A and B are shown apart, each in its own frame.
Chain A
Amino acid sequence: MLLERRLLTRDRSGGLLQKFWQIPWIFVLMLCAVAAVGYVALYSAGGGAAEPYAGRHALRFGFGLVMMLSLALVDIRLIARLAWPIYAATVGLLVLVALQGHVGKGAQRWIELGPIQLQPSELMKIALALALASWFRRASWERVGNPIFLIPPILATLLPVGMILKQPNLGTAMITAMVAGSVFWGAGVRWWKFAGVLGAAGIAAPIAYEHLRDYQKARITTFLDPESDPLGAGYNIIQSKIALGSGGLWGKGFLQGTQGHLNFLPEKQTDFIFTMIAEEFGLVGALSVLALLGLVVAFSFAVAFRCRHQFGRLLAIGLATNFFLYVFVNVAMVTGSIPVGGVPLPLISHGGSAMLTTMFGFGLLLSVHVHRDADMGPTRE
């Protein structure tokens, strides 16, 4: 066995095969399990049929899986070198979407790329994590403490966040900022700087509220008092809570969820898919899915801890935080804990753009893991 491996390492293709064995298959299995949960939920959302959601979901996951595994074999140093070009390209897409983007639900978010619709703001979170990880990969603790050193990454963060805000997509902008924040945090930016930024944000929030779009304000007021407009802006949140709460401990059973199947639940195949799961499988099912998603996050953290170079660590923590925020914002949204924000549940919600960007992110994560021992060059003072 050992001999065989040695023989193989000499070979170029053998190197790829070696890497292939490095891929943490247990994690891939976890992702498949999450996607399977998505398939089941979408099968139910489709009224007990694979069409129109579940079948396409499986197909997309298949594509995503191939992409992810291919990406896992790409050398992390190549990725690190491409980080800024990817960042620049994604910012370019954001500009494009602002210029000619498809108007969906009162906001410009989508871009048509051939047959697929792409939401560049989704990709932006990953590109930003890449760029920031690249920026900090060789910076020493002292260097990170230098405020001048922090100016370029802050600008690199504010540019896309501002553009996403302008779309307008408050939720994604905040998630993007938080993903960036997680990288800054992992890189060792002093904690009091975080405190300062948070304090400033707290002061700025009421002023910012004045500049929100009407529908965004409506979301916030609706969140504070959903019953204020039960058939308007509050409808989604109330119906979601009713459906979720009525699931009880054990749920109503697969395909038995009345609220979802009777269309009381809006957008059940996308934003409110978790409600559907919670209604049909109850608290037990909901917590299981939540635990599974938590495991995925935990594994991402484990990748970060085990990585021996700063770039991989920072990228992994950015991607982990990105995934966690997806899950948290979506579930908090459907349980009425935070304002509704149009954030899908990764790998479970119906939608190609989110699936592909998620799988792209996991591809990078796997590459970090596969190349965890790569030499990324010395730390700079």
Chain B
Amino acid sequence: MRLGWPKFQWRRRERGMNAARRQEERRRNIFTRRVALLGLGQLGLLGYLGQRLYRMQVEEGERYATLAEENRVSARLIPPPRGRVLDRDGKVIAGNRLNWRALLVAEQTQDVAATLETFSRIVPLAEHERARIERDVRRHRRFVPVTVREFLTWEEMARIEVNAPDLPGIITDVGTTRMYPEAEHLAHIVGYVAPPAEADIGDDPLLELPGIRVGRAGVERFHDRILRGRAGAVQLEVNAVGRVIRELDRHEGQQGQDVLLSVDAQLQRQVRQRIDEGTSVVVLDARNGEVLAMASKPSFDPNLFNAGVSAAQWREWTRNRSTPLINKCTAGLYAPGSTFKPMVALAALDAKVVGPGERIFCPGHFDLGDTRFHCHSRRGHGAVDLHAALKLSCDVYFYEVARRVGIDRIAAMARRFGLGVDLEIELPGTRKGLMPTREWRISKGKPWNLGDTVVHGIGQGFYQLTPLQLATMTARIASGRALQPHLTRSVGGQPQRVMRPDYWPALGIPDRDMRLVREGMWAVVNEGGGTARVARLPDGTVFAGKTGTTQVRRVSRAERERGFRVENLPREWRPHALFVGYAPYDNPQYAISVIVEHGIGGSLAAAPLARDIMMDTINRFRRAPEGGQRVADAQPAAGTAGAGTAGAPAGGASPSPPPGAGQRR
């Protein structure tokens, strides 16, 4: 085994062999001892590592396993599709539209700028868009998709897909966005959605999701929880930077439920076509309080909220004096004018301060102390009873009756008809309005004078009522029931209980009083001298109603003497025109209220409009091909309503045919 060593080494070795061997042996022994010690030490350290591994992996293994699980599993919410809002025919008035988007994943492209350049040759991108995209790319981690463009058309999508090989990093996907096919026609009812504000994000984790929308107005807001649904959850395996690796578990949420409304989109459209700016119209089903149409012009397009309303648009809406964002039907406050007279009449009859046939002489004015109150007829109506006073809208009669009955009893009666009270309709932002009383006035630190009562007898003064309240009053006069206006017919296919015909309790007004008032309202339209003869319906259906005109500005005696003509006033000083009515008279189905701002006179502007809209309503539910079912449904409903009222102990609600009117004549 010895290798061939060079000779000189042999010689050197032989010279000091003995001494060297001793030295060598000693060295070797020391080395062996020491290195054995070193080896033991190293073995000990390895043993320590083994023990440490045992402690971590076996003794504490479970704890670390839990930590590992927490590390990798990330729970995420799946946004449920928002429920739709449908009209009474099931027509979509708020739905979900697919939103095709192009997204950019920065890590999938070599050069973001080049990709965007290519993209803008296919779908043009504005400078500010490109700046926004580049900013988003910088802000997010490189695997987070950044929106390049939303709301792509089908054609644009196709072009992007075809050019996909040239667009590294660009991915397309489809989300949903809210869509309102009726645009501004139903905006005030359906409302709109917008991203949640900080304050909205409370208990619902769903609201923290990007891209989620919450109802901000109208039904969208009122039924937000129902429409929103409940978020599903998905457990994802993620890596250290949060990128999704795979799905581990999935719980489907509950998707938003559809809300079916009572409004009729087609009727709503017709109504809106008939009215001008500043006009508000409410059409109710007089049997159950369903809102059939509710229009307030001007309106807005709720679709604009999808992509975010620009500051300029928002400014225009909020600064516009005709307040397009406000639903004047529920939030516009008006004095009721002569449309309030049935309330005064009912209060007087109830208090028995005036007999049904009692005549009061109208010389054209009414004096209270030094103050003279004028009738709208300067020559006077002569001696008028309740029936004629309603028909002619004689002011003097109601000045006197109001003086006798007092404001508090008038207010109490008006409240029973829904005036100045919260009607609990499903529209956020609805105003309660104001029904003035003596107490209210005193709480304001001012006295209530008898003169105030007199003025309030003809519906002028401190009243602040909404068109919806006036329509509700009319429907209650027609039905005799304390119905409340409402919009929701069914939620998720479940009918709401208010649909039952005898759901609403009877008002409890004596039959005779109701009949007197109804006959007076019948006469307004159908009797010679009535203020709304123009409102007779062309198809012969009997319409009953009451006109109203409210001054925006006080007319001074000097003006009156100079031969004041309201037509000469600038528009914003002209009186508002009002009309409330219901039809058919003998079997009330529909109640309507119309307020034409600055329309000069109820019989001039509001009554003809109400006539046309009532005609549209009747035709709509008679003729509509898909409404065949509706007419069929309407008739038996009317029948049951009649049967129900006949059997009701209060009895006063029965809408009787108008023979009494004939007798009166």
Contact = CB atoms under 8 A, between A and B. Distances in A.
Nearest to A258: B72
B34 A188 contact: yes
Interface string A356-381: 00000000000000010111011101
A163 to B, nearest CB: 26
Contacts of B245: 262
Contacts of B60: 245
Contacts of A375: 5, 9-10, 13
Contacts of B46: 290, 294, 297, 324, 327-328
Interface string A12-24: 0001001000000
Contacts, number: 170
Instruction: Give chain B's interface residue range (CB within 8 Å of chain A).
Output: 35 or more
A238 B19 CA distance: 59
Contacts of B32: 305
Interface stretch (B234-242, B335-343, B395-403, B601-609): B234-242
A263 B244 CA distance: 12
B230 to A, nearest CB: 30
A141 B27 contact: yes
Contacts of A243: 64, 68
A117 to B, nearest CB: 26
B57 A249 contact: yes
Contact of A245 (B39, B48, B63): B63
A96 interface: no
A245 B53 CA distance: 8
Contacts of A337: 48-49, 52
B16 A378 contact: yes
A292 B46 CA distance: 11
A186 interface: yes
Interface stretch (A52-60, A106-114, A279-287): A279-287
Nearest to A305: B32
A290 B53 contact: yes
A9 B245 CA distance: 63
Nearest to B42: A324
Contacts of B28: 310, 313
Contacts of A15: 3-4
A244 B13 contact: no
A259 interface: yes
B49 A247 contact: no
B49 A328 contact: yes
A324 B343 CA distance: 103
B31 interface: yes
Given A248-B57, A375-B9, A379-B23, A188 B49 contact: no
Instruction: Give chain A's interface residue range (CB within 8 Å of chain B).
Output: 35 or more
Contact of B239 (A263, A278, A287, A305): A263
A73 to B, nearest CB: 12
> Which of A249, A264, A290, A379 is most buried by chain B, counting CB atoms within 10 A of its CB?
A379
B12 A378 contact: yes
Interface in A313-329: 313-314, 317, 321, 324, 327-328
Contact of B68 (A246, A301, A305, A310): A246
Nearest to A302: B39
A335 B49 contact: yes
Interface string B1-40: 1111100011011011101100110111011101100110
A352 B50 CA distance: 28
B43 interface: yes
Nearest to B70: A242
Interface of B is mostly: helix
A328 B72 contact: no
A124 interface: no
B53 A140 contact: no
Contacts of A245: 56-57, 60-61, 63-65, 67-68
Contacts of B48: 337
Contact of A141 (B15, B23, B50, B240): B23
Given A264-B72, A331-B49, A377 B35 contact: no
Contacts of B43: 294
B58 interface: yes
Contact of B31 (A188, A239, A244, A298): A188
B629 interface: no
B54 interface: yes
Contact of A244 (B56, B238, B241): B56
A195 to B, nearest CB: 14
Contacts of B619: none
Nearest to A317: B35
A246 B67 contact: yes
B450 interface: no
B45 A328 contact: yes
Contact of A262 (B24, B27, B30, B239): B239
Contacts of B17: 378
A337 B49 CA distance: 9
Interface in B203-258: 237-241, 245
A332 B64 contact: no
B410 to A, nearest CB: 72
B3 A374 contact: yes
A321 B564 CA distance: 117
B71 interface: yes
B235 to A, nearest CB: 13
Given A188-B27, A378-B16, A378-B19, 10 more contacts: A187-B31, A241-B56, A242-B68, A247-B61, A287-B53, A290-B50, A317-B31, A317-B38, A375-B13, A379-B20
11 contacts: A141-B27, A242-B67, A244-B53, A265-B240, A278-B57, A321-B42, A324-B45, A328-B49, A371-B3, A374-B5, A377-B12
Closest 5 CB pairs of A and B: A245-B64, A246-B68, A262-B239, A378-B20, A379-B23
Interface of B: 1-5, 9-10, 12-13, 15-17, 19-20, 23-24, 26-28, 30-32, 34-35, 38-39, 42-43, 45-46, 48-50, 52-54, 56-58, 60-61, 63-65, 67-69, 71-72, 237-241, 245
